[in-house]
Amino acid sequence: MRVIECDGLTKEYKDHKALKNVTFSIDNIGCIGFLGGNGAGKTTTIRVLTGLAAPTAGKVKVVGYDVVTERNKVTSEVGYCPQIPAFYNYMTAVEWMHWVGKLYGLDKHTIAQRTDELLELCGINEARNRPISGYSGGMKQRLGIAQALIHNPKLLVLDEPVSALDPMGRHDVLLLIEKLKRHMTVFMSTHILDDVERIADHIVIIKDGTVLLSSSLEELRASHVEPLIEFKLDQEDIDLADVLDGLAWVKEWSQDGGVYKVFANDMPQAKARLPHIVLESGGTLAYYRLSALTLQDIFLKVVNNG
Ligand SMILES: Nc1ncnc2c1ncn2[C@@H]1O[C@H](COP(=O)(O)OP(=O)(O)OP(=O)(O)O)[C@@H](O)[C@H]1O
């Protein structure tokens, strides 16, 4: 069973098509980074996935249930935390969790047990009996996540969970997501690439209401490895210019501060021959590495070509 299955999702507002044929699927537990700029369609997609808005067209299933015809089942399997979760600030965390638990129709014993577990997991336990009004932004976000998990959902959906937080709050929330993703699927919208690079296993990129890419981070990196070898010689007086100019498998090369960058036409040939060429020139390698693009480079490439 797929955790998320979005097939041709379209969402129209009165005079605006916010989502156009959005198609992607997620099979596993782990963290999914849902990336896109302002107005790309992230919140609209999240509203559909959580049953808060109906699609205009397309088929969307969450944890195997149709978001339109089986909406109640969807809401019982999905936990959702908005970017800025709202609370009754005069309540304590314990009171708030009990209030939310009752809304889900859970019995007192289950609520008490889940509250203890979740406040501990989310690092709120020490403040459990203090009014929420005194909590920091990070604590409120973690309480919002605890609340979203009260009914033990299979999918946790977070809308920009860290973008309004200070560095400390951001760090704590990311650590919590890292823990949670080992046991469930966490779908997290964001425009912060560093966070995605740190904790996501799969990314979906959306632009102007259209999905540009859906891929595991591992596959994405592997498919964007540039055929580039970077190396430096121990000997600054050895010049490889003439040798590199004469090689058929070298597409282009540059040298800056003793660091050579060689773009290859034929990577296997380049990997096999370069160390020999260095030796034959009387040099030794100070370092040698295959280059990989950063997620930032890949994101810009995908978005600019999309
Ligand atoms: N209720 C609405 N009525 C009309 N247009 C809307 C409505 N909600 C969203 N839109 C439009 O749909 C598009 C997608 O909006 P959405 O909020 O999903 O984007 P987003 O990726 O979450 O952006 P942001 O990061 O700025 O929150 C935007 O152009 C937005 O103006």
pLDDT in tens, the chain (306 residues): 799 999 999 999 988 999 999 999 999 889 999 999 889 999 999 999 999 999 999 999 999 999 999 999 999 999 999 988 999 999 999 999 999 999 999 999 999 999 999 999 999 999 999 999 999 999 999 999 999 999 999 999 999 999 888 888 899 999 999 999 999 999 999 988 888 888 999 999 999 999 999 999 888 877 776 778 889 999 989 999 999 999 999 988 989 888 898 888 888 889 899 999 999 999 999 999 887 667 777 777 777 776
What CATH number is given to the structural domain containing 135? 3.40.50.300
> Which protein residue has the closest C-alpha to ligand 1 atom 3?
13
Residues 89 and 110 in one domain: yes
Query: Where is the domain boundary, 196, 216, 236?
Result: 216
What is the length of the chain? 306
Residues 74 and 136 in one domain: yes
- Give me the pLDDT at residue 155, please: 96
Instruction: Determine, yes or no, domain membership for 221.
Output: no
What CATH number is given to the structural domain containing 247? 3.30.70
Whole-structure pTM value: 0.82
Residue to probe by mutation, ligand 1, list 44, 211, 303, most atoms within 8 Å of CB: 44
Query: What is the dihedral sign for C-alpha 181, 27, 52, 210?
Result: positive
Residue to probe by mutation, ligand 1, list 9, 42, 157, 162, most atoms within 8 Å of CB: 42
Residues 151 and 87 in one domain: yes
Instruction: Determine, yes or no, domain membership for 181.
Output: yes
Residues 197 and 60 in one domain: yes
Alpha-carbon radius of gyration of the chain: 25
- Give me the pLDDT at residue 223, please: 77
Residues 60 and 102 in one domain: yes
Spatial separation of the C-alpha atoms in residues 264 and 179, rounded to whole Å = 41
Dihedral of the CA atoms 275, 278, 281, 283 (nearest 10)? -120
Residues 189 and 94 in one domain: yes
Spatial separation of the C-alpha atoms in residues 231 and 253, rounded to whole Å = 11
Residues 125 and 82 in one domain: yes
pLDDT, tens digit, for every residue of 126-179? 999 999 999 999 999 999 999 999 999 999 999 999 988 888 889 999 999 999
Q: Which of 98, 93, 187 is nearest to 141 (CA)?
A: 93
For ligand 1, whether the C-beta of 44 sits within 6 Å is: yes
Query: Where is the domain boundary, 216, 239, 257?
Result: 216
Instruction: Determine, yes or no, domain membership for 296.
Output: no
Residues 244 and 129 in one domain: no
Token pair, residue 102, equals 């009752």
Instruction: Determine, yes or no, domain membership for 295.
Output: no
Instruction: Determine, yes or no, domain membership for 171.
Output: yes
Alpha helices by DSSP H, listed for 6-165, are: 42-49, 71-77, 93-103, 108-121, 137-148
| Number of structural domains found in the chain | 2
- 63-101: string of b/e by CB count within 10 Å (b at 16+)? bebebeebbebbbbbbbbbbbebebeeeebbbbbbbebb
Residues 104 and 211 in one domain: yes
Residues 172 and 246 in one domain: no
Residues 203 and 241 in one domain: no
pLDDT, tens digit, for every residue of 263-285? 888 888 898 999 999 999 999 99
For ligand 1, whether the C-beta of 16 sits within 6 Å is: yes
Instruction: Determine, yes or no, domain membership for 222.
Output: no
Residues 210 and 270 in one domain: no
Instruction: Determine, yes or no, domain membership for 303.
Output: no
- Give me the pLDDT at residue 293, please: 66
Atom of ligand 1 nearest to the CA of 191: 25
Domain that holds residue 176: 4-216
Instruction: Determine, yes or no, domain membership for 130.
Output: yes
